[in-house]
Structures are given as structure tokens and as C-alpha cells.
Structure 1
Amino acid sequence: MRHLAPAKVNLALHVTGRRVDGYHLLDSIVVFADAGDWLEIAPAATLSLQVLGPRAAGVPTDRRNLVLQAAALFPAGQGAAITLEKHLPHAGGIGGGSADAAAALRGLAALWDQPLPDMAAVLGLGADLPVCVSGRPSRMAGIGEVLISLPPLPPLWLVLVNAGVAVPTGPVFKGLARTRNPGLPAMPDQGWSDAGGFAAWLARTRNDLEPPARQIVPVIDTVIAAIRDSDDCLLARMSGSGGTCFGLFATEAAAKAAAAALSAAQPDWWVQAAAILP
């Protein structure tokens, strides 16, 4: 079985509070791109993990890897040979490890004919795990456990860009000027009729983690400016805690043209055009 672990993109991320245990409360718009890592899962007597692909370097193959932590949520004693093919940048703010673990949960549940583990246990692996398991455009709230389906989205394309500089999540959260910020604005009940209308609504939102991330890794400014200057870009912003940034586009042709131009101008950057999955 071969499973896509799609990139998770926070189109908006509002930090609305902080619990006494230190977890931050979020109000976020999450979508998934048709680009990501891949997992191949095959029957085997024991459980094993190997990591291949262009971004395999430095990815652990022991219990530090979220894929094996996800497998441990199932009853013990079951085997599978898992091959993780890494394409997404590390520490990129697009849920690479969480997406891998979510794909492993879905794949192993099918292989072993088991229900998915309890979502409270899944949440224990990381705040992005529940939404990555769902794999659908969602409004994510709480610490990641509250998921609300979005109104229908129009066809949309992304250009994802990462300059190759890791952004440490802890210092980004510590750098927040405020932890109690307003939540998302009201959404239209019937959704958005076109990409321009959605982008106009999205422009009223923000990523509260972007300012501290820019302070820590200034190249994020350069990346966002380059995306924003692309022809037909509707919106440019950072995803999650960084450092992957995205541009929103109405058509495949516009996104692919922007990706080609960015790749030519900055050959050392990771650049990927991708559709938003429904």
C-alpha cells in the first residue's frame, strides 16, 4: 500500500490564549496540498522503518520518528515494513512529521484491520495529528483537538517555498507579543464562490507566529516578498510556525508559472506548486 502524506498548510493561524499547562490555544484554517511525503506499508513479521528520498538525511528510523510512535498506539505484536519517502523540508511548518504519522495511522489501520486509535492518544503525539488524520480542509481550534469542516472552497492552488533555514518552534511561540488575540472572522455560510473572494476573506486573517518567526529567521521576509511579487499571486504568508511560506493562486497555470520563476531565481530554495485537496 502506498499512501500520500500531504503537506499541511495553515492559511491562517490565530493564537487566542494559553492554558495553565503551557499549551497555546489556536484558531486556524488548515488545508492540505497534493504534494508531500509518501509511505509504503507492506505485511511483515516485525515492525520496521526505513527512510529514503531526497530529504531523508537526518530523519531518525528509531522511536524518535513519529511514524513508529503512531504504530505504537495500536495493539502490540503486529508487524509491518514501512518505507518513508521524504520530500517535505524538515521543521518547515507544513506538518511533515505529523502528516507522516497520520498516513501511518490510516495505512496500518487498514493493513491490520483495526480501528484508528483514540483521538486523545493521537493528540498526544502532536497538536497537528488530529487534523492530519482527517485530511480535510478544517477550522482547527483548542490545542488541535477541535475540528470543524470548512464551507466549500473554490478551486485553489498553492506555491510552497522554503529557503532551507530551520525555524525552531519553541522560540517562535516564546517570541509572541501577546498570547490572547482575536479569533478568526465570521465565515460565509455558503462558502466562497471564487478564489478572489476567498483570498479577500483570508486577507482579514493573519498568522500570529509570523512576526516572531521573521525576527528569528529574517529570510522569511525575503521569501514572502518574492512570492508576493509573483504574477497573479492573491496572498502570500508563512505557514504554521515557519519557515515554509505559501502563495495562493486561482489557477494551475499561474501557480506553476510562479513556481518555475521562483525556482529559476532562487535555485537553492525548495519550491513546489500544488493544488489544495478538497
Structure 2
Amino acid sequence: MNKTNLTIMVEFILLGFSNLPKLEGLLFVLFLVIYMSILIGNGLIIVITKIDPSLHTPMYYFIGNFSFLEICYTSVTIPRLLTNLWSQRRNISFLACAVQLTSFLIMGATECFLLAVMAYDRYVAICRPLYYHVIMNHKTCIKLVVGSWISGIPLQIGQTYQIFSLPLCGSNKLNHIFCDIPPLLKLACGDTSVNEFSVYADVLILAMIPFLLILWSYSQIIGTILKLPSATGRSKAFSTCSSHLIVVGLFFGSAIITYMRPKSIHSAEADKVLSLFYTIVTPMFNPIIYSLRNKDIIVALKKLLPK
């Protein structure tokens, strides 16, 4: 395809793991098991935070919403990946690719803001405990969750439109496991520096601002915890934050490395591995992190599941 542009580009080819043909069957089973564990694990957290009265608190309300987001987030990419591995048909239509990218970006922005909201909830609980139920009332929690879902929509739709408005040339093969910005930019003709700057600006607004809010929240939390006279109190306060910090580190670490690296050092294989972290690994470990490190959820699970 020489000099192919936007008007006649009808589909892309997602190469995925086509360079590992002998391992595709094993990869299909592996990703299927991971996807099922994500659905079951996060689904269990949603169920127990809804039906157990002891978990009807702002913290578990946010955790339940975060688990629902993780299910949606992975469902944007993994089913298509499984289909490609099973059928060996790697083509994806232009429209389907645009929808997948838009959904993926919106879910990613929502996760950034929701993680910041969860950090703020811990800040209020530890630093302003007497006012916790006044500040984090039910209406406020709903507004924070809805705000997290809708905050990134305008920017991400605009970002997708900008990427797919670029003139495309050369091959229609995307060396990635789903439609993402870095591999799409590689197919674009001419100078894409403006688009790269737009991506960096987008990341700064939708990822770095929530990340800085999380850092500020935990700086205040750590300062308050260190002032506690009781070692038991300090340990309990740290334990309520540790699960959230692990998830933040996994998600933000891999996402920032992927999107903030200069184009000159981008590697298709490295991008695939990094994308697996924030699209699959974090959602898979989310139920494990929040259940194994949380006594309230373990107790609720024991009530729900047969002994």
C-alpha cells in the first residue's frame, strides 16, 4: 500500500504476537485464564461491597467502582486479543480501531482520576477523621465517581479525532496488541511532532495532575501517621493505604513510561510488554491486593462463600 491516506484506509492489521506463532495457543489459554480471573475477582469485590452492610462506607464504595472500571477497561482490549489469537484473523476495521482507542483512553483517564479520589478519601479519613462522614457523604462520593468517569471524555475524544485525522502512508500493520497511540503515530506521514506534543500534554493533564494529587495526599497522610503516639495506630493507618499505593505504582509507572518516552527510544516489543502491565496485570492483581491485604473484605468473603 503506497501512499495510503485517511480516505481509503478501511482496516488495520493488529500484528500482536504473530512473531511467536508457536506460542499463540499457549498465549490464548494464558490470556483467557487471566481475563476470567479478572472478571471473577473484580466481580466478587463488586458483589460483596454491595451486599455486606459493614462495607457500605466511602472507601469500599470507591473500591467497588474501581473493580467495575477494571472489568470495563480490560474488556476493551482482551476479547479482541483473544479473538485474534484464536482465529488468526488480525484485521480490525478503521471504525472499530477508533472506538477501541477512544474507549481505552477514556477508561485510562477514569482510572487516573478514580485513584486520585481514593487517595483523597484516605487523606480525609486519616488527617481529618472527625469530619470524615461530613466531607465524604454519599452525595459527594457519587459526584466524585461521576466526575472521574466524565472528566477525560472531551480530551480523549479530541485526541482520538486528531490521531485518526493524520494522513497515513506505507503499511496498515499495527505492531501492537490493540489500537494505541504510539503504533498509530508510526503509520502517519510527515512530521508528527505536534501530535506527540499533544499526547504529552494530554498525559500531563489526565495522568500527572491526578498523580501529583495522590503524592500530595500521601505526603499529608505520612506526616499525620508519623505523629501518632501508638505504634499499633501507625501500623493500622499504613495498612489501609498500602494496597492503594501498590495499585498506583503498577498503573502509573507503566503508563507514564509508555507515553512519556521520546519517540526515538520507542520499541514495539517494549510497548507491548508495558501495555500488558496497565491493561492486564493491574486489573488482575487488583482483587488479590485488596482482598489479601484487607481484613474486612476477607471477613465478607467468608460470609459469602461456602466454608
- Regarding TM over 0.5, the answer is no
Whichever of the two has the greater Rg, that structure is: 2
**TM-score, with normalisation over the residues of structure 1?**
0.29
State the TM-score, normalized to the length of structure 2.
Answer: 0.27
